[in-house]
Amino acid sequence: MRTYQLLIEGQSHLISETSDNLYDLTATNSDIRTILDALDASANLKIPLSEFIKSITDATDPLPYSIAEVIDQSNPISDRVKISIPLQPPEVWCAGVTYRRSMEERKEESKTPDVYSRVYEADRPELFLKDSGHRTVGPFMSIGIRGDAIWSVPEPELACVIYRGNIVGFMAGNDVSSRDIEGANPLYLAQAKVYDRSCSIGPCFVSIDSIGDPQLLEISMKVERDRVITFQGQTNTDKMVRSCQKLSGWLNKHNQVPDGTVLLTGTGIVPPQDFTLAEGDSVSISIENIGVLTNDVVFV
């Protein structure tokens, strides 16, 4: 089960996508405006989320357009229907050093490399708070790079959505980072990771019963500059040293996160050291069974 948040004539609507059609859940039930509304309703009824949403779509006529048509800027429908952030997370947390590739690169850039190999091999993961509700953007919005950084990179990651302490769905995520700032001193991590527009999520929410095996998903990323690909790479979540469930378990330990919290699970795609993001770049992250999250880059 997949949902999008669309702005239709300026009003936010929760949209369900099946293999064939889009259905406007909000138009049928005005109480269901977000995926959190749907999660609350299904929990109160004690039925699975997918069953609750199907009960609405069964009573709803399909919309006369597709997500592809909404995204296509040349299509007239895109003038009045816009794709939006699929969830407004109250908190975004990140797990670090969950792929060997990330551990190796962070050791190279750091003046204290032993820190990263130790956390990679430890039972307790690295977890840090990325956002508390206002630094995260959605698809086709601008992500930011710091004006005082000289080495900024995108970090494509599988994003978990947590509700009542459990993973209920997934999205694509981008943990934009300033590698030179973090590399100078690990205590600068917050400044390297937490700043305006430093995170994006989207393009949709995919329920846990529709994702397949979250530890067997292809992830790819490409960065375009003046319509020329300057970097591309790929990985698979089977290369994670800790599973999504294990990371979520650590996050929730002695720490009750609010419903709708997003957990980014680390990156296995690391651009070379001579690459840095530039204003005007376009970053596209594709995750199997989810879709493509695209953002342009601005200085903040």
Two tokens at 133? 């509700």
In sequence order, which residues have a C-beta less than 8 Å from that of residue 22 and are 6 or more positions away? Answer: 4, 15, 16, 62, 63, 65, 66, 67
pLDDT of residue 108: 64
For residue 103, is pLDDT > 80?
no
For residue 107, is pLDDT > 60?
no
Cα dihedral sign, 170-69-7-144:
positive
153 or 118, which is more confident = 153
pLDDT of residue 76: 84
Q: How far apart are CA 256 and CA 46, in angstroms?
A: 22
For residue 102, is pLDDT > 70?
no
pLDDT digits (tens, 9 = 90+) for 41-79: 999 999 999 999 999 999 999 999 999 999 987 788 888
* Residue range 92-299, CATH number: 3.90.850.10
pLDDT of residue 100: 79
pLDDT band at 111 (very low <50, low <70, confident <90, very high): low
For residue 113, is pLDDT > 70?
no
pLDDT of residue 299: 98
pLDDT of residue 117: 84
For residue 230, is pLDDT > 70?
yes
pLDDT digits (tens, 9 = 90+) for 167-223: 999 999 999 999 999 999 999 999 999 999 999 999 999 999 999 999 999 999 999
206 or 118, which is more confident = 206
Q: What is the mean pLDDT of the chain?
A: 95
Two tokens at 207? 């329920």
Task: Name the CA dihedral angle for 230, 236, 242, 243, rounded to a multiple of 10 degrees.
Answer: 130
For residue 146, is pLDDT > 70?
yes
Q: How far apart are CA 239 and CA 158, in angstroms?
A: 12
pLDDT of residue 105: 66
Extents of the domains making up the chain: 2-84, 92-299
SS (H, E, C) 28-63: HCCCCCCHHHHHHHHHHHCCCHHHHHHHHHCCCCCC
DSSP character at residue 265: -
pLDDT of residue 79: 87
Q: Note the helical H segments in the chain.
A: 25-28, 35-45, 49-57, 67-71, 100-109, 114-121, 179-184, 189-193, 244-252
Which amino acid appears at position 174 of this protein? Answer: N
Two tokens at 297? 């880059």
